[in-house]
Amino acid sequence: MTDLWQKRLRRHQLNQFKYLRLIFNDNFVLAFIVLIGALGFWYSNLLGTIHHQLVLGKPIVILILFLAVQIGGIATLLEDPDSTFLLVKEKQFYRYFKAAKNYSVFIPIVTLALVNFLLSAFASRAAGLKIIDIVLIAIGLIVFKLGFLNVNFMALYGENHLGSLDLKLFSNILLVVSLIVSTYFFSATMIVVALVYYLFLNVRVKPLETSGRLRWEYAIATENQRMFRIKRFYNLFTDVPGVNSKIKRRKWLDGLFNFIKPKKRNTYLFLFARGFVRNNEYIGLFLRLTIIQAIMLCLIDSFYISLIVEMLFIYLVGFQLKPYFKEVMQNLMQRLYPISGKEKIASFTKLSTVILTIQWIISAFAILYKFGMSTNSLIIIIAGLAVLVFVNYFYMPRQLKKYLD
Amino acid sequence: MTLEVKELTGGYGQVAVLKKETFTVESGQVVGLIGLNGAGKSTTIKHIIGLLTPRGGQILIDGISLHDDVEKYRKKIAYVPEMPILYPELTLREHIDLTIMAYGLDHDKTWENANKLLKTFRLDNKLDWFPQNFSKGMKQKVMIVCAFMTDASLFIIDEPFTGLDPLAVNDLLNIVEAKKKAGCSVLMSTHILATVQNHADKFVLINQGQVRADGTLDELKKKFNMQADTNLDDIYIKMSHEDL
């Protein structure tokens, strides 16, 4: 069974590397590096404004650390056919999962270390914690998380209960209480609680090896969801096969399509507009990026960073719309329509112009809110418009051409 | 409407699947395209509708090729693929609207045709459904409706009978018959020989990318030296044993 795990892990890692390579190949990454730089700049500015301990300092630290512990579960790498083909091996799966758990500790440890490291500056300024406190809490949280993974393990067997008490809920309450005690009173509490918790769960996991009944459906569904989340993330940067987006009717938005007259030259606009509005992936992306952009523009004081955010986000939305065109072009039936590729591209650019204009108007309001009626506002807004024109009239037509056949 | 396939050679990439195929479909004819899995039926169809480009030979509809006039050529054809292909974001009603727009059809007249077909296939109360809610057979029916409501003169159907319930098979055959009476031509590939034997005027037998024989059932019997009471099944099996 551990051989099977090793084989799957190797294949999984190869797949991950393939996608990571694709992601780090694209100019999109440059954009993200700029974004991270902007966030870092914002964070250090924020720290500069904090001169004494804040009332909300400790609650914020507790909240962020609590959320950080939730990140990462067991990567079981189970597959749908397992419940048919490997059903006979059910008893041996304990060792398989054990190997999976050992592998799965890596991401939580790195995440917790990183979050604690980044948070330490804030924690010492705003929450009045000493470095030694932060280190003790960080170690405590990592040990706690190692115990917490056992709860995920037990859930695979449906044994994640303590009497009638759900172990996950119990763990989270315990976590919050010990975080409060360690930040406000005595920081070593976290380590002590975590050690006891870890040892207790290790004892509880053991009997599953001989008496556990695996919950196949749950285990496979959980793993599929986990994979889907990873792939959806990769899908932001590159095309991942097998990521199907959800379609919603949104009948209340049908009025929007009244502007599209049922004429032959509007055939593709008819199709693209409906697809964009109803496909969660694309409308979701547009809404997420537009809202994040508006919030950032409302918060950031620096002219240059606002300028970058305005231009970058408009470019990003335009860039992210391309895969939708590709998706439609892969439909065989539409290739038979007596409509030229030029008209297809023209229809798509029409749609993207409308979308980016809406985004541009919303961002303009955010800029005016922050900078008022000033030359700075004007420059940023015009720069946004320039990106809009560039994306729709120069970038898009050239990029879309390669998807036509 | 006349479809002429002359010395057609082609396939995917470098591999030539089809080798010098020649056959014709005349006005008002229903022609069955018959062959084993992998014989080249679907590949032939893909060349005719223009999804693949021939490497040699010619395909003419009423004397024009895809190369001469893309729009004119495409408007003459309606195609029902083997696997239904629908837009996940469009409702059934919108699929029909889109087809009307794409082919520049008359809105009211086409909807009249469509409504009749929708009723026949019991889809008339599902106009606001998305493809994800349809079963495979229902999707197939949607494809049939979208193809047969148009004013095309050549209907190409790839494996139409698999996945349809017996009632729908019967309905489809009636529709094909009606189109034939109206002077249109139908080319269909299939494995359901008993059905096609009764409803097609002519058969094109394809084996390993070549037209082994074509003609009416009687002509085929002569070509294969078979007795008078043989059916298409016997001929088909004889043909498939030839290369062993």
Does the CB of B147 have a partner CB in chain A at under 8 Å?
no
Task: Give A230→chain B minimum CA distance, Å.
Answer: 23
- Residue B216 region, left (φ>0) first, then alpha (ψ -120 to 50), else beta? beta
Is residue A102 in a domain? yes
Pairing of strands B185-189, B210-215: unpaired
Is residue A246 in a domain? no
User: Which of B101, B106, B127, B150 should we substitute to test contact with A (largest number of A Cβ atoms within 10 Å)?
Assistant: B101
Task: Name all domains of chain B by residue range, CATH numbers in brackets.
Answer: 1-76+153-244 (3.40.50.300), 82-151 (no CATH)
Residues A205 and A269 in one domain: no
Assess whether pLDDT exceeds 90 at residue A284.
Answer: no
Question: Is A153 within 8 Å of A101 (Cβ atoms)?
Answer: yes
Assess whether pLDDT exceeds 70 at residue A142.
Answer: yes
Contacts of A340 in chain B (CB under 8 A): 70
Half-sphere exposure of A116 (CA within 13 A, CB side): 22
Is residue A245 in a domain? no
Whether residue A331 and residue B85 make contact (CB cut-off 8 A), yes or no, is yes
Whether residue B79 and residue A336 make contact (CB cut-off 8 A), yes or no, is yes
Whether residue A331 and residue B87 make contact (CB cut-off 8 A), yes or no, is yes
Residues A55 and A154 in one domain: yes
Does the CB of B74 have a partner CB in chain A at under 8 Å?
yes
What pLDDT, on a 0 to 100 scale, did the predictor assign at position A206?
87
Paired residues of B186 in beta bridges: B30, B155
What pLDDT, on a 0 to 100 scale, did the predictor assign at position A149?
92
Chain A contact residues (CB < 8 Å to B): 247, 249, 262-264, 266-267, 270-271, 274-275, 278-279, 328, 331-340
User: Which of B49, B51, B89 should we substitute to test contact with A (largest number of A Cβ atoms within 10 Å)?
Assistant: B89
Does the CB of B41 have a partner CB in chain A at under 8 Å?
no
Contacts of B134 in chain A (CB under 8 A): none
Residues A152 and A200 in one domain: yes
Does the CB of B111 have a partner CB in chain A at under 8 Å?
no
Residues A191 and A272 in one domain: no
Task: Give A347→chain B minimum CA distance, Å.
Answer: 13
For residues A121-142, average pLDDT: 89
Rounded CA-CA distance A322/B115 in Å is 36
Task: Give B194→chain A minimum CA distance, Å.
Answer: 29
Boundary (domain end) residue, out of A177, A201, A235: A235
* pLDDT tens digit at each of 244 positions of chain B: 899 999 999 888 777 889 999 999 999 999 999 988 888 899 999 999 988 888 889 999 999 998 888 888 999 999 999 999 999 899 999 999 999 999 999 999 999 999 999 999 999 999 999 998 899 999 999 999 999 999 999 999 999 888 899 999 999 999 999 999 999 999 999 888 888 899 999 999 998 889 999 999 989 888 888 888 888 888 888 888 886 5
Is residue A380 in a domain? yes
User: Which of A336, A342, A405 should we substitute to test contact with B (largest number of B Cβ atoms within 10 Å)?
Assistant: A336
Whether residue A332 and residue B85 make contact (CB cut-off 8 A), yes or no, is yes
For residues A386-396, average pLDDT: 94
Assess whether pLDDT exceeds 90 at residue A353.
Answer: yes
For residues A72-80, average pLDDT: 89
What pLDDT, on a 0 to 100 scale, did the predictor assign at position A243?
64
- Number of domains composing chain A: 2
Residue A247 DSSP SS3: strand
Q: Which band of pLDDT confidence, cut at 50, 70 and 90, is reported for residue A138?
A: very high
What pLDDT, on a 0 to 100 scale, did the predictor assign at position A291?
87
Rounded CA-CA distance A296/A312 in Å is 12
What pLDDT, on a 0 to 100 scale, did the predictor assign at position B215?
92
Boundary (domain end) residue, out of A235, A270, A305: A235
Boundary (domain end) residue, out of A235, A267, A293: A235
Residues A228 and A260 in one domain: no
Residues A117 and A261 in one domain: no
Task: Give B85→chain A minimum CA distance, Å.
Answer: 7
Whether residue A338 and residue B104 make contact (CB cut-off 8 A), yes or no, is yes
Residues A88 and A203 in one domain: yes
Whether residue A267 and residue B101 make contact (CB cut-off 8 A), yes or no, is yes
Half-sphere exposure of A23 (CA within 13 A, CB side): 17
Residues A271 and A349 in one domain: yes
Task: Give B140→chain A minimum CA distance, Å.
Answer: 13
Residues A293 and A182 in one domain: no
Q: How many angstroms from the chain centroid is the CA of residue A235?
A: 11
Residues A360 and A214 in one domain: no
Percentage of residues in chain A with pLDDT exceeding 90? 40
Q: Which of A25-29, A326-330, A343-347 has the lowest mean pLDDT?
A: A25-29
For residues A145-160, average pLDDT: 90
Rounded CA-CA distance B109/A36 in Å is 58
Is residue A372 in a domain? yes
Residues A192 and A290 in one domain: no
Assess whether pLDDT exceeds 80 at residue A28.
Answer: no
| Main-chain dihedrals φ then ψ at residue B141, nearest 5 degrees | -65, -40
Cite the beta strand spans of A129-206 per DSSP E. Answer: 161-162, 165-166
DSSP symbols for A23-58: HTTSHHHHHHHHHHHHHHHHHHHHHHH--S--TTHH
Which among B71, B87, B107 is the nearest to A262, CB-wise?
B107
Question: Is A128 within 8 Å of A33 (Cβ atoms)?
Answer: no
Each residue's pLDDT tens digit, A245-265:
678 888 888 888 888 888 888
What pLDDT, on a 0 to 100 scale, did the predictor assign at position A198?
93
Tokens standing for residue B235? 């001929």
Is residue A241 in a domain? no
User: Which of A249, A270, A271 should we substitute to test contact with B (largest number of B Cβ atoms within 10 Å)?
Assistant: A271
Question: Is A119 within 8 Å of A64 (Cβ atoms)?
Answer: yes
Which among A247, A275, A335 is the nearest to B51, CB-wise?
A335
User: Which of A332, A333, A347 should we substitute to test contact with B (largest number of B Cβ atoms within 10 Å)?
Assistant: A333
Does the CB of B82 have a partner CB in chain A at under 8 Å?
no
For residues A353-362, average pLDDT: 96
What burial class does residue A128 get, using C-beta atoms within 10 Å of its C-beta: 0-12 exposed, 13-18 middle, 19+ buried? middle
DSSP symbols for B151-170: --SEEEEES-STT--HHHHH
DSSP symbols for B175-237: HHHHHHHTT-EEEEE-S-HHHHHHH-SEEEEEETTEEEEEE-HHHHHHHTT--TT--HHHHHH
Which among A264, A279, A332 is the nearest to B51, CB-wise?
A332
Among all chains, which residue has been given the structure tokens 């195929």?
Answer: B21
Q: Which band of pLDDT confidence, cut at 50, 70 and 90, is reported for residue A52?
A: confident
Assess whether pLDDT exceeds 80 at residue A31.
Answer: no
Whether residue B101 and residue A275 make contact (CB cut-off 8 A), yes or no, is no
Whether residue B98 and residue A278 make contact (CB cut-off 8 A), yes or no, is no
Assess whether pLDDT exceeds 90 at residue A349.
Answer: yes
Residues A293 and A202 in one domain: no
Rounded CA-CA distance B27/A176 in Å is 80
Task: Give B195→chain A minimum CA distance, Å.
Answer: 27
Rounded CA-CA distance B146/B134 in Å is 15
Alpha-carbon radius of gyration of chain A: 26
Assess whether pLDDT exceeds 80 at residue A232.
Answer: no
Assess whether pLDDT exceeds 80 at residue A235.
Answer: no
ipTM of the complex: 0.87
Each residue's pLDDT tens digit, A162-208:
878 888 999 999 999 999 999 888 888 999 999 999 999 999 888 88
Does the CB of B102 have a partner CB in chain A at under 8 Å?
yes
Tokens standing for residue A66? 């609590």
Is residue A240 in a domain? no
Among all chains, which residue has been given the structure tokens 């470019």?
Answer: A315
What pLDDT, on a 0 to 100 scale, did the predictor assign at position A26?
59
Whether residue B75 and residue A267 make contact (CB cut-off 8 A), yes or no, is no
Task: Give A265→chain B minimum CA distance, Å.
Answer: 8
Question: Is A405 within 8 Å of A331 (Cβ atoms)?
Answer: no
Whether residue A270 and residue B85 make contact (CB cut-off 8 A), yes or no, is no
Is residue A243 in a domain? no
If you measure CA to CA, which chain B residue comes closest to A281? B89
| Main-chain dihedrals φ then ψ at residue A67, nearest 5 degrees | -65, -35
Residues of the domain holding A191: 2-235
Whether residue A336 and residue B88 make contact (CB cut-off 8 A), yes or no, is no
Contacts of A271 in chain B (CB under 8 A): 87, 89-90, 98
Paired residues of A179 in beta bridges: none
What pLDDT, on a 0 to 100 scale, did the predictor assign at position A241?
67
Contacts of B101 in chain A (CB under 8 A): 262-264, 266-267, 270
Residue A2's CB is within 10 A of a number of other CB atoms, namely 12
Contacts of A334 in chain B (CB under 8 A): 102
For residues A143-155, average pLDDT: 92
